[in-house]
Structure 1
């Protein structure tokens, strides 16, 4: 992955975390790596444990950020979430959920980015 692309991803994750905090979520962990996949953000929304996938795009040439989450990617995220639950022994959560936050740059990075939070995305 190029340095520019990595910086874009980190920027998007920071914006996503800010949006989640503003919406009342608590951020429990970020960038948790497992063999299956990386969990971008693990958060709490009330009594629900939320695994948040962040997708950042510089434009829409290759489709929307939400369209980039394939069936295979969803499966990997589910596996990583299971690893997280087993490793952290996250008890007390009766529900878990997978959200997606899509960040799309506007006007080549000169405008306000578009941030879309898809609750219970899959």
Structure 2
């Protein structure tokens, strides 16, 4: 089953040096997961100041700067993995460096027929 592991943290929780170390450790984890056939993709996200939110109301798009919800912790990146079950996904989420300073939300991915294969 596919799971997305959403990494939330305060944007200023890491210094530039800590952030670079986090990226390196995340790349190592991705390599380990890849060797086990569990890795699909991962990516850090640019700061929330670069975000744009779109809502459609009455058929018209409403575009605003920033995230939809204002919270202390922002979505900072994600892993998309294959795991046998939630327990295995939890074990992987606990290895994500961002979990040490933030929160990793685990969500099963709904498979929808008709989507392009990657």
Same fold (TM over 0.5): no
TM-score with structure 2 setting the length: 0.39
Between structures 1 and 2, the one with greater helix share: 1
Larger radius of gyration: 2
